[in-house]
Amino acid sequence: MANKFVREARKASKRYAARASANFGGVDPQAVGEELERIYEKNGQLNSRAVVDEARPEDAVLHPAFEWDDSIAGEEWRNHQSRHLIKSILVVSEEEAEPTTVYVNVKTDEGRRSYQPVEVVVQHVDQYASAVMELQARINSATKALKELETAAGKSDVSAERMAKIHFAAKALATAYSAVEALH
């Protein structure tokens, strides 16, 4: 009973915000965050299909955040909207200067992928390792995109200043990759 009381008190004090790129169809970020938390608690995990299913009823909190007209969008698009919604919700903390990510996509103990609260992920060795590997993959993707930009810039008449900025960004990504690698 005490744990339930503590969870309810924590939940009541959480303030949610949205990334700048978020589109929740007019649903307030606070309502989105609370509903995602409710779905997570109900299922013990959060995935795009569960969020879409919970949003289906017309009176559901998240219903306006999705495109329900099948002539415009299908189920895969709604799953995409759901993933974007989950990744776009942030928690506002008095201790942090900036809002922070609430959920990260990790491989669970069952070998499936789902969104888990960051505070849960950092406490589970396997999920933490999965999150670090995902971060490394993102840095690799950014490095590849930067190399493509560098190649294209090298073939055109780009100023030395711009090329220096590209090289600086490449070094910063290499440093970031090394720092993330040290997290293992």
Asked whether 138 and 131 are in contact (CB, 8 A), the reply is no
What does the pLDDT read at residue 9?
A: 44
Closest CA to 165 of 141, 146, 139, 152: 146
Task: Render pLDDT for 63-89 as a digit per residue (tens, 0 to 9).
Answer: 999 999 999 999 999 999 999 999 999
For residue 56, give the 3-state DSSP assignment: coil
What does the pLDDT read at residue 11?
A: 53
Beta carbons within 10 angstroms of residue 89's beta carbon: 25
> What distance in Å separates the CA atoms of residue 41 and residue 63, rounded to the nearest whole number?
19
Longest dimension (CA), the chain: 69
Task: Render pLDDT for 99-143 as a digit per residue (tens, 0 to 9).
Answer: 999 999 888 777 788 999 998 888 888 888 888 888 899 999 999
Decide if pLDDT at 5 tops 50: no
pTM here is 0.72
What does the pLDDT read at residue 16?
A: 96
Asked whether 30 and 16 are in contact (CB, 8 A), the reply is yes
